Amino acid sequence: MSATSYSYTTLDADAELSRLIGTLRLNPKDSGSTSRDLSMEVVRSDDLPRGSTTSRPECQFHPDATSHSHVEPFGCPLLLSIYYHIEAYPTTGGAYLDTIFTHRALLHASPRGHEGCARAFSDLARKIDDREWRADRESDQEAVTAFLNEAMTVATSF
């Protein structure tokens, strides 16, 4: 593959960000609406049906009945856009810092749409850490550290 197939220019990012901000609607949350339940159910193995060969009780984590085997990504449209285009997302040049500061501005403008963003930053850090090295990804480790730090910052703001 040629290097041009991976290009994700600042112009592309700016156009995508402008499109996302243009679709932003600030509406009050309905009191009757439900938010996504992120809880996990803890099931002790001694509570499971008989026939288990384990001699001591162990805890196992099982997603609740409403979750699916496919894990749905979390976050606001800005972070989802980056998540879905992570292979084309450069870290050299500080694009990750632009993402963090833009997200902070959006978070402070409308906090209600960002409940899952702490998890989204953690997921982005994991995906960046897992991808192959390329010349336009020289700052991947710095981006991972910055995204994990931002995940903690966002989590403590709620």
72 exposure class (CB count in 10 Å sphere: 0-12, 13-18, 19+): exposed
Which spans in the chain are helix H?
A: 10-22, 77-84, 95-109, 117-130, 140-156
Residue 108 counted as domain residue: yes
Does residue 32 lie in a domain region? no
Over residues 124-136, the pLDDT tens digits come to 999 999 998 888 8
pLDDT at 27: 60
pLDDT at res. 37: 44
Please give the backbone phi and psi of residue 61, each rounded to the nearest 5 degrees, phi first. -100, 130
β-bridge partners, 42: 61
Q: Is there a contact between 41 and 62 (Cβ–Cβ < 8 Å)?
A: yes
Domains of the chain: total: 1
- Cα–Cα distance measured from residue 112 to residue 109, given in angstroms and rounded to the nearest whole number: 9
Is residue 44, in this structure, part of any structural domain at all? no
Q: Is there a domain that residue 62 lies in?
A: no
Q: Residue 73 has what DSSP assignment?
A: P
Q: Which amino acid is at 105?
A: A
Residue 117 maps to a domain = yes
Q: Residue 88 and residue 81: Cα distance in Å, rounded? A: 11
Structure confidence at residue 22 (pLDDT): 74
Contact 58, 110 (CB under 8 A): no
| Confidence category of residue 121, pLDDT binned at 50, 70, 90 | very high
Please tell me the least confidently modeled range out of 52-66, 86-100, 104-118. 52-66
What is the structure's pLDDT at 116?
A: 93
- What confidence category does residue 74 fall into, taking pLDDT thresholds of 50, 70 and 90? confident
Is there a domain that residue 26 lies in? Answer: no
SS3 of residue 63 by DSSP = strand
- Domain that residue 106 falls in: 72-156
pLDDT band at 69 (very low <50, low <70, confident <90, very high): very low
Q: What is the per-residue pLDDT across 4-51, written as a single tens digit (0 to 9) for each?
A: 444 555 566 677 777 777 776 666 555 554 444 444 344 444 444 554
Q: Phi and psi of 95, rounded to 5°?
A: -60, -30
Summarised one tens digit per residue, pLDDT across range 99-119 is 999 999 999 998 988 999 999
- The verdict on residue 14 lying in a domain is no
Alpha-carbon dihedral sign for residues 28, 150, 76, 97: positive
54 within some domain: no
Arithmetic mean of pLDDT, 71-88: 89
